Structure 1
Amino acid sequence: MVTGKGSERVKAIMLQGTSSDVGKSVLCTALCRIFYEDGWKVAPFKSQNMALNSYITKAGEEIGRAQGVQAEACRVEATADMNPILLKPKKDMVAEVIVRGKHYADMEASAYRNDYVPTALPILRESLERLAEEYEILVMEGAGSPAEINLKDRDIANMRAAQLADAPVLLVADIDRGGVFASLVGTLALLDEEERARVKGFIINKFRGKFSILKPGLDWLEEHTGIPVLGVIPYADTGIEAEDSLALSSLQLKKQDEQPDSLQVHVIRLPRISNFTDADPLYDEPGLNVRLVASAAEWKNPDIIIIPGTKNTIDDLEWLEQTGLAALIQESARRGAYVAGICGGYQMLGQTLHDPDKVESDREESRGLGLLAIHTAFQEGKRTIRVAGKASGADFAKNEAVSGYEIHLGRTEREEGALPLLTLEDGHTDGTISHDAKVWGTYLHGIFHNRSFTRGWLNQIRSERGLPLLSIQVESESARREASYAALASLVREHLDMDRMYEIVGLGKKQETHR
C-alpha cells in the first residue's frame, strides 16, 4: 500500500480496458481535468507503457505521451514518476526499455519478461510513493487488458499496479468495435477473485447509438455482474493526441477537405513510425487533404510529402526503397512537390547515413534520398530535450518563434553552403532547408504544432499554386489544447456518474474549484 504525507493513504482510481485502444488514455485525461476542476491536486500514473509516441519532460526525461498530455490536463509538470517504465518497439520482438525517463537497454521480449520484470516492482513503488507525497489523487491507467492469461504472471501494468496503490478499478470497453457485453463479462471471468473484487464499475466508451436501445443490455450487465455502469460516453473527436499506434487507422477515417483547391498531402506511414502525432495539426488545417500512405499503389500526385519520425531510420529507409516509395518521393520532389522530414525523416532526406558502430542496423553506410545536403552519423547516447528558438532560414516564417522537443540518436552535419532551418535559444542551429525552400527537415518534434509557422509554410505553397491565402492569425497550440481539455472534461462529466465516482475514490467534492 502506498501512503502519502503523514502516512495517510493516497486516493487513487485506475482505468483498465478490455483491450488496447478502448480509450483509456483519453478518459484518464478527462478525469485528470475533472478532478483538477473540482479543486484537487491530481497526477496521472501508468506503470509500464508500450508506445512509440513519447513526451519529453522539463528535465529531459522520456515518458509515454499520454502521461505528458494527462499532466497538462492536470496543469502540473510531467515527471518520469508518472510513467516509470516505457517500452519503445524497435524491431520484431525487440524494444528499447526506458526506466525513469532514461535509456536502460534494448531487450528481446523474453529477456524483458523473464529477467527484468521481476525486478521492476520496487521501481513502480518508489514512483508511486513520490507522487503520493505531492498529490491528493492519482489517476492510474492500465495497459491492454488485465485478462491476458498467458501474460498475467508478469503483468505489472494492470492489477499489480492497482494493488500497489490499493486503487479501485473501472473497466472500460469500446462499444464501437462490437461485443461490448462479452468483452466485459469475459474479462471479469478471467480475473481471479481478489482482482474481480477490485473492479467497482464499468465505463462504456465510443457510443454512437440510441441510449434507449442500449439500456436493456446495461440493466442485464449490472444484474448479471453486480457491478454498476458508471457511464456511457459518446463517440467524439476530442482533439486529444493519441498514443497507441492502433489509433493511426482512425486518422484515415477523418473527414478530408476534397475541394478542388485543396492541397494534397501524403504522410508516409513508415513501419516503425514514431511520434506520429507530429502530423495531427495538418488535419486541423483547412484546404488540406491529408492521407497516410504506405504503398506505391496509394500514391496520388501530392503537393506536399511528410516523412515522419521512426524508431529505426535505416530499416525504414530500406523499406522506402523496397516499396518504390523512395523513387516516388524523389520524382515528386523533382516535379515541384514540397517535402518535409522530421527526426528520422529528416535524416532520410540527406546524402548519406553512417552507422559504423551498428547502433541502428547492420548496415554501416546507407544512401539517403539525396534531397538535402546533409550527412548523418549514428552514435550511442540519445538526445532528449525540450527546445525553443526561431525560424531563421525560411522566408515563409522569418523569425517566427518555434518550440518542440528532440528525441534522436545521431548527429547531422550540413555541407558547406547549406542553410539551417532554425536557430535555437542556446545559439545552435537545427535542421536544413533547400535554397528554393521546397525541401526542409528538422529534429524538432512538434514543429507543425507551431501553428503560425505551419500556416506560413502552407501559404507559400498556396501562393505558388495560385490558391487563396489563409489568415496568418491562427489560434495558438496551447489555446487549442486547453480548449480540448475543457471540452473533453465537460463531455465526460455530463455522461459519467461523478457522485458515484467520488464514492468509489473515497473523497467528497471540494468547495473551492478551478472552474
Structure 2
Amino acid sequence: MAKAIMIQGTTSNAGKSLITAGLCRIFSQDGYRVAPFKSQNMALNSYITEDGLEMGRAQVVQAEAAYKKPDVRMNPILLKPTSDKGSQVIVNGEVVGNMKAMDYYKNKTRYIPEIMKSYSSLAAENDIIVIEGAGSPAEINLKENDIVNMGMAKMANSPVLIVGDIDRGGVFASLYGTYMLLNETEKKYIKGNIINKFRGDIKILEPGLKMLEDLIPVPTVGVVPYMTLRIDDEDSLSEVFENSSVLADIDIAVIKLPRISNFTDFNAFELILGAKVRYISSAKEFKCPDLLILPGTKNTIDDLKWMRECGIEAEILKYASRGNPVFGICGGYQMLCKSLKDPYNVEGGGEIKGLGLIDAHTVFEKEKTRTRVSGIFKCAGGIFSELNGKSFEGYEIHMGITKAEGFLSMLKSMDGGEKTDGLCQGNVYGSYVHGIFDSEEVLKTIIKALYNKKGLEYNETLSCDVKAHKEREYDKLADELRKSLDMKYIYKIIDEGVTL
C-alpha cells in the first residue's frame, strides 16, 4: 500500500492545489508511482474522464503533473454549488442529487466507505498518495463530521503539512491559530508549515520563522516564492479574474458570471503573447473587445437574469449587432438561444427569453450529459469560417438540450454522428464543448482571424502548444519547490507516517 503526505491550508487559495501538483511532479520525477487524492472538492470547474465520469479540475492538473490520466477515484466527492445554500452532489463521478448545505453536512459521513474505497484502490496501485485538504482544518464549526481535512488525515494515517499564504498578510497568526485550534490528537498529524507566495528578502522573514517555531512545536519546511505560473486554476478566488491592464493587440473579454464554471476553457488564449483576456462583471467594463465570450455557468437562467438586470445583456446585443464576434460555451451557448425552458425544475423551473442571437431553443432535461467528444468544424461561417476542417476535442457537461430552427450543426463528431454540439449564425457561435479552444489549430485560426479583422499582421510564432506548455509549467513548479522545500525532511515524514 502507498504511503501518504497531506497538504492542508490555513485558508482557501493558500496554494494547496499547486503545492500538491508540484509534489506529484517531484515524486514522479524521482521514480515513484504517484497519485493525487482529494476526498471532497467544492468547485464549479469540473472535467469528464475517458469513462464519462465527472471530477474536479484540480485533481486533473495534479494527475497530469504525476504523468497519470485523470481518474475519478482521485476525487470521489464533488460538490458543485447551485446557490449560496446548496450544491449538486456528485459521488464517484455520478450525480446523486441536489442538497442543501445543512442536509449534506449532517449526512456526509455516509460517504466515508466510498471515499476509502477510492483511496484504498489508488493506494494499492501507487507508492505515494499526495492528499489535498479543503479550506482550513481549523473550521471549528465543521470539525465534528470532517471528511476532507483532519478526518481524512486520520483515515489515511497521513502526516500533514500546513500551507499559509503570506501574500495576503497575517501568515504567522493564521499558522499559529490553525495549530492552536486543533485538538491534541490532531496536532500529532501536523509535521510542518509551508510559507507560500513570498516576495522579498528571506533574511527579513527569518526572525518570524524562529519566533513561530518557539510558539508551536512545528518546523517550517520551506518558504515558497511567489510564482507566475500558467496552470489551470479551479478556485473561485483565482487571480485570473483580476482585469489585466497590459496592452495587447487582441482584447478578449469574458463575462464574469456570478456562477461562472470551467473558466479554464479560456486559458489557451492567455498563452498567446499578442492577446489579453479580461473578465468583466459590469456594463461600464464592457468597452469594445475584439472577441466576446459567454462562459459556462452552474445556473444559466439566474445568470442570464443577472446580465439582464445589470445592463450587460444590452451591451452584448449592441456589440453583436455591429457584426462583432460572440462565442458562447455551454451555459453561455444556451443564453444565445431564443428561449430557455426548464420543465423539470432543474434550475428553478419556468421559461425565459434568451439573447436571441441564435435561432435555437434550449430545454433543460432531468439527466446530465457527460461525455468526451472529438470532431471537426464543418459549417462555421462569418469571421471564423477558416475553422472549417479544423479538428477539436474536449468534453461536455450540461443538463440542457439545444435544438436549432432548421440549420446544420457547426460541429461534426469523429464517429460521423450529427450531434448538435454547436451552432453558428453570422458572427455568433455556440458550443457545448469545453476545451474546444485548446487545439493549437483552432486557437491559431481564431487569433489569426481577429488580427486580420483589425488589419494587423499575424505572427504565427505567437501561437502555443497547450500540452507542451503545461508540461513546462509543471516542471517549473517542481524545480521551484525543490529549491524551496526541505525535500529530505518531507521524504522522512512520509516514510515514518504518524504514530499516536
Shorter-chain TM-score: which interval? over 0.9
Residues 1:55 and 2:44 aligned together = no
**Deviation, structure 1 residue 463:** 1.1
Instruction: Tell whether the 8 Å contact from 2:33 to 2:126 is kept in structure 1 after alignment.
Output: yes
Q: In the TM superposition, what are the counterparts of 1:331-350 in structure 2 within 5 Å? A: 331-350=318-337
Aligned partner of 1:451 in structure 2 is 440
Report the equivalent of 2:411: 422
Residue equivalent to 1:7: none
Partner of 2:27: 35
1:500 lines up with 2:489 in the alignment: yes
How far apart in 2 are the matches of 1:451 and 1:173?
Answer: 37
Match of 1:385 in 2: 371
Provide the TM-score with structure 1 as the length reference: 0.93
Output the CA distance in 1 between the equivalents of 2:423 and 2:289: 19
Are 2:4 and 2:128, in contact at CA under 8 Å, matched by a contact in 1? yes
Q: 2:90 maps to which residue?
A: 98
Q: Provide the residue aligned with 2:200 in structure 1.
A: 209
**What are the ranges of 5 or more consecutive residues in structure 2 without an aligned counterpart?**
none
Among 215, 222, 225, the residue aligned to 1:234: 225
Task: Tell whether 2:293 aligns with 1:293.
Answer: no
Residue 265 of structure 1 and its aligned partner are, at CA, apart by 2.0
Unaligned runs of 5+ in 1: 5-9, 509-515
2:261 — aligned with what? 274
Structure 1 CA distance for aligned equivalents of residues 282 and 406 of structure 2: 35
SS in 1 for 2:460: coil
Q: 1:351 aligns with which of 314, 338, 344?
A: 338
Task: Look up the match of 2:465.
Answer: 476
- Cα offset for 1:387? 1.2
Q: Which amino acid aligns with 1:117?
A: K
1:149-160 → structure 2 map (5 Å cutoff): 149-160=140-151
Q: Structure 1 pair 33/392, CA: closer, same or farther in 2 (3 Å)?
A: same
**CA–CA distance in 1 between the matches of 2:178 and 2:453?**
56
Q: Deviations over 1:276-300 (max 9, x none)?
A: 1112122222332322111112221
User: What is the RMSD of the two structures over their aligned residues, measured on CA atoms?
Assistant: 1.6
Rounded Cα–Cα distance in structure 1 between residues aligned with 2:167 and 2:440: 32
Does residue 319 (structure 1) correspond to residue 306 (structure 2)? The answer is yes
Q: State how many pairs are aligned.
A: 492
**Alpha carbons of 1:252 and 1:92: their partners in 2 closer, same or farther (altered >3 Å)?**
closer
Aligned 1:2-17 pairs, distance under 5 A: 4=1, 10-17=2-9
The amino acid across from 1:20 in the alignment is S
Matched, 1:372 2:358: yes
Deviations 1:104-163 (A, max 9, x none): 11000111111x213121111111111111111100000000000111112211001011
> Could you tell me how far apart the structure 2 residues matched to 1:182 and 1:204 are?
12
**d(CA) in 2 for partners of 1:393 and 1:494?**
51
Distance in 2 (CA, whole Å) between partners of 1:370 and 1:472 is 37
**Structure 1 segment 122-141 matched on structure 2, within 5 A:** 122-141=113-132
Partners in 2 of 1:66 and 1:470 — Cα distance? 33
Give the conservation status (yes or no) of the 8 Å contact 2:53–2:92: yes
Percent identity, please. Answer: 47
Cα 1:242–1:501 change in 2 (3 A) is same
Deviation, 1:507, is 7.6
8 Å CA contact 2:378–2:388 kept in 1: the answer is yes
Alpha-carbon distance in structure 1 between the residues aligned to 2:7 and 2:420 = 40
Normalised TM-score (structure 2): 0.95
Task: Quote the Cα distance in structure 2 between the aligned partners of 1:34 and 1:278.
Answer: 27
Deviations 1:349-395 (A, max 9, x none): 111112122222222x2111111122111101111111111222233
Q: Is the 8 A contact 1:43 1:139 kept in 2?
A: yes
Quick check: 1:14–1:140 contact (8 Å CA) kept in 2?
Answer: yes
1:490 aligns with 2:482: no
State the partner residue of 1:511: none
The answer to whether the Cα contact below 8 Å between 1:257 and 1:288 also exists between their aligned partners in 2 is no
Quick one: distance in 2 between partners of 1:491 and 1:448? 29
SS at match of 1:245: coil
User: SS at the partner of 1:378?
Assistant: strand
Any conservation in 1 of the 2:274–2:462 contact (CA below 8 Å)? Answer: no
Give distance in 2, aligned partners of 1:507 and 1:75: 26
Partner of 1:26: 18
Q: AA paired with 2:65? A: A
Return the alpha-carbon distance in structure 1 between the equivalents of residues 424 and 69 of structure 2.
37
Instruction: Tell me the amino acid that sits aligned with residue 162 of structure 1.
Output: A
SS at match of 1:454: helix
Moved more, 165-174 or 456-465: 456-465
The answer for the alignment partner of 1:513 in structure 2 is none
Instruction: Give the CA deviation at 1:406.
Output: 0.6
In the alignment, the residues of structure 2 paired with residue 373 and residue 431 of structure 1 have an alpha-carbon distance, to the nearest angstrom, of 15
